[in-house]
Amino acid sequence: MMAEKTFSIHVNDRACKRCGICIAFCPKKVFSSENGKPVVTNLEACIKCKLCELRCPDYAIVVGGEENE
């Protein structure tokens, strides 16, 4: 799920409850849904607004790639 070396968006799959919020409300449509599961498919577009991280009800997203799952 790493897309770049210096910058990444990490989705903790065990924590994610597939609510779809990150997918729907990313202003840049960075995520797509794989059977409800958010997958980063457009990392380049990300503007690092971190809204996805802030809005994830399950703290499953880290924008910036520091999470060590």
Partner 1 sequence: MRKELEKYFRTEKLPHIWCPGCGHGILTGAVVRAIDNLKLDQGKICIVSGIGCSSRAPGYLNFNTLHTTHGRALAFATGIKLAKPELKVIVLTGDGDCAAIGGNHFIHACRRNIDITTVVFNNNIYGMTSGQYSPMTPQGAFATTAPYGNIDRSFDLCKLAQSAGATYVARGTVYHIPQLIKLIEKALLHKGFSLIDAISICPTYFGRKNKMSSPVRMMEFIKDACIPAKNAEKLTKEELAGKIVIGEFYEEFAPEYTEEYAKVIEKAREGK
Quick check: 39 binds partner 1 (CB under 8 A)? Answer: no
Binding partner at 66 among ligand SF4, partner 1, none, C-beta below 5 to 8 Å by kind: partner 1
Q: Nearest 5°: phi and psi at 10?
A: -105, 125
51 CA to centre of own chain:
10
Binding partner at 30 among partner 1, ligand SF4, none, C-beta below 5 to 8 Å by kind: ligand SF4
Quick check: 46 binds partner 1 (CB under 8 A)? Answer: no
Question: CB neighbours of 51 closer than 8 A, spacing ≥ 6?
Answer: 25, 26, 27
CA atoms of 7 and 35, how far apart (whole Å): 25
Interface positions with partner 1 (CB under 8 A): 12, 14-15, 17-21, 23-25, 51, 53-60, 62, 66-67
